[in-house]
């Protein structure tokens, strides 16, 4: 598969939260204690234990009320701010084109959390690690679909290859506009050079709680330019240090053996 993708058609979302439950169950994420805030959104935000959530947005116009609901989570951007922000290269692109965090390499600096324009990365203070949606990489590697896609009862979430789903998204958006949803559009095709979570929206992205024009923060791009050459120096220094330590250890061990 060249580029794994999930097509999220918001016109089909019924807000059942099946995707939320499936994500929690598959990834063995604990439930969170929340407080009712007057909204159906629950949990109200992403965290280290909540990687997928359904947004509920109510909009009124001329006496008509629209419920705009959508599954939201990590977008797995092509121009990923989190990858650029990470000073140790713990955030990487998988063979499926998705973005994942190496929990061993992560140093808990929180730079990725701050840089993400979608605010979807959580920080686990228990382990001092950043955590987010993995696109169910363990399922993909075994020929399975992401948990959120397989459980969706209305096929609001469709999993497949980008080459198949991008044309399908265009067809669906055209159909919605022809049916009177004049503001219907595709979101994620051009944003951040494309995302692995491609949306068919019935209205403006801001009405769904999505940024209209997401960007990689300027400070993140600058720090990436500064840290990238330093990463190589650090890695080379670490390898040299290990080699030197191991060589010295062998010499000492040999000396001890000869002295006996």
Residue 202 shares a structural domain with residue 240? no
Helix (H, G, I), strand (E, B) or coil at 232: helix
Q: Would 138 be classed as within a structural domain? A: yes
At residue 218, the pLDDT reads 87
pLDDT of 247 above 90: no
Please indicate, yes or no, whether residues 236 and 154 belong to a single structural domain of this protein. no
Token pair belonging to 18:
């099946």
Yes or no: say if 79 and 215 are a contact pair by the CB < 8 Å rule. no
Residue 219 belongs to some domain of the structure: no
Classify 80 in phi/psi space as left (phi over 0), alpha (psi -120 to 50) or beta: beta
What is the number of structural domains in the chain? 2
In a domain, 220, yes or no: no
Are 72 and 29 members of one domain? yes
Question: What whole-number distance in Å separates Cα of residue 253 and Cα of residue 124?
Answer: 42
Do both 66 and 15 map to the same domain?
yes
pLDDT at 45: 92
Residues 113 and 152 both lie in one domain: yes
| pLDDT at 188 > cutoff 70 | yes
Inside any domain, residue 151: yes
Strands (E), 46-205: 52-61, 64-73, 91-93, 99-101, 122-124, 129-131, 157-161, 185-187, 197-201
Same domain, yes or no, for 93 and 41?
yes
In terms of domains, do 152 and 259 share one?
no
Is residue 100 pLDDT above 70, yes or no?
yes
Task: Quick: pLDDT tens for 23-60.
Answer: 999 999 999 998 888 888 999 899 999 999 999 998 87
Alpha-carbon span 101 to 36, nearest angstrom: 31
Domain extent at residue 232:
228-260
Same domain, 126 and 248: no
Answer whether residue 217 is part of any domain. no
Read off the pLDDT band of 233 (50, 70, 90).
low
Say whether both 51 and 93 belong to one domain: yes
pLDDT band at 232 (very low <50, low <70, confident <90, very high): low
pLDDT reported for residue 220 = 87
Q: What is the DSSP letter of 212?
A: S
* H helix runs in the chain, sequence order: 18-27, 81-85, 111-115, 137-140, 147-151, 162-178, 218-259
pLDDT of residue 195: 98
* Three-state DSSP state, 200: strand
Q: Is residue 221 part of a domain?
A: no
Nearest to 22 by CA among 130, 100, 139, 118: 139
Is 222 within a domain? no
Verify that 111 and 60 share a domain, yes or no: yes
Q: Looking at the domain assignment, is residue 25 inside a domain? A: yes
Q: Please report, for the domain that includes residue 149, its CATH number.
A: 3.30.70.20
Given a contact cutoff of 8 angstroms between Cβ atoms, the answer to whether 201 and 184 are in contact is yes
**In this structure, what token pair is assigned to residue 243?**
């080699």
Residues 54 and 159 in one domain: yes
Task: Please tell me whether residues 236 and 204 are part of one structural domain.
Answer: no
């Amino acid at each position: 598969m060249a580029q794994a993708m999930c097509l999220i058609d918001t016109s089909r979302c019924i807000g059942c939260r099946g995707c939320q439950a499936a994500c929690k169950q598959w990834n063995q994420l604990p439930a969170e204690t929340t407080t009712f805030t007057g909204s159906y959104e629950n949990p109200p935000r992403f965290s280290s234990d909540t990687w997928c959530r359904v947004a509920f947005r109510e909009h009124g116009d001329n006496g008509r009320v629209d419920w705009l609901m959508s599954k939201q989570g990590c977008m797995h951007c092509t121009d990923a701010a989190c990858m650029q922000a990470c000073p140790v290269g713990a955030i990487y692109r998988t063979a499926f084109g998705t973005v994942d965090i190496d929990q061993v390499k992560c140093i808990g600096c929180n730079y990725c959390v701050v840089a993400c324009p979608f605010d979807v990365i959580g920080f686990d203070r228990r382990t001092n690690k950043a955590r987010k949606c993995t696109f169910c990489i363990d399922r993909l590697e075994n020929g399975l679909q992401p948990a959120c896609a397989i459980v969706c009862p209305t096929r609001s979430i469709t999993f497949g290859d980008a080459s198949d789903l991008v044309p399908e998204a265009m067809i669906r958006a055209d159909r919605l506009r022809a049916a009177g949803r004049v503001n219907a559009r595709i979101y994620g095709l051009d944003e951040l050079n494309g995302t692995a979570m491609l949306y068919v929206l019935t209205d403006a992205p801001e009405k769904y709680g999505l940024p209209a024009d997401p960007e990689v923060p300027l400070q993140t791009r600058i720090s990436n330019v500064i840290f990238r050459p330093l990463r190589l120096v650090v890695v080379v220094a670490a390898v040299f240090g290990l080699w030197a330590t191991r060589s010295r250890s062998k010499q000492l061990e040999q000396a001890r053996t000869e002295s006996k």
